Every structure is written in C-alpha cells, then in structure tokens.
Amino acid sequence: MFKEVKEFDYITVSEAKELMEKIAEVRQKKGELLYETRRALKHLRTFAKLPSDKAREVVEELMKLPFVSKETAVKIVDMMPQNPDEVRLIYAKEKVTLKAEDIESILEILNRYR
C-alpha cells in the first residue's frame, strides 16, 4: 500500500492547508472524511498564519537573503516570529550565526506581511 515518493519539496502550513482542503472536498463528495483527514485539516486551519499565496511570496522573498535556505524560510513563515529571540530559536540547529542586522532584515520582511 506504500507509494513511491516521486517528488519532494518543502511547503508552508498555509500551502498544506490549501492542498488538504482540496483533497477533503474531493473525498467528501465520495463519502465521509476519515478521522485522520479531519484532524489534519483542523490542525492546518488552526496554525496557518497567512493565505497560501502570501506565504509563497514571503518564502521567495526570504530566500533572496544569502543566509536563508528554503527549509529555513518555510519554518520562518510557519512560525512568523515577532522578535529577534524567536528568529534565533529557529536558527539554533543551523550552523549559521546571524548578526543583529540579519535578524532585523528577516523581521522587516515578515512585518510587511502581517
């Protein structure tokens, strides 16, 4: 019953919510949604902080910064940190030490989309 993974990409919670809503709509027409699908959709609706198109824009803008990878950009958008300490927490496992101006540039981008 396992399927082969043909493609892998990091997506934000907002984008996952959009995809799950489309899947849920199709499955609902065929019958009742499974418990797991309902729980996943509830989780995504609770934690999605931006519309999916805005989330994609923010990820793309963050990736223009030389110290932000796609994986990190997605984490940043999912968490939408509001202060420098929260940004440092995201980078805690990375091998990059951010300067204060780097953190401020991340927060400036995020503040434009709040």
Of residues 8 and 68, more confidently modeled: 68
DSSP string of 87-100? Answer: HHHHTTTSS-PPPH
Please name the CATH architecture into which domain 52-113 falls: Orthogonal Bundle (1.10)
Residues of the chain with CATH 1.10.150.80: 52-113
Among 96, 28, 22, 24, smallest CA distance to 52 is for 22
pLDDT in tens, 10-34: 999 999 999 999 999 999 998 888 8
Q: Is the pLDDT of residue 7 over 90?
A: no
2 has a pLDDT exceeding 70: no
How distant, in Å, are the alpha carbons of 12, 23, 41, 77 from that of 110? 14, 29, 25, 8
pTM of the model: 0.89
| Segments in the chain forming alpha helices (H) | 13-30, 35-47, 52-63, 70-79, 84-90, 100-113
> Mean pLDDT of all residues in the chain?
94
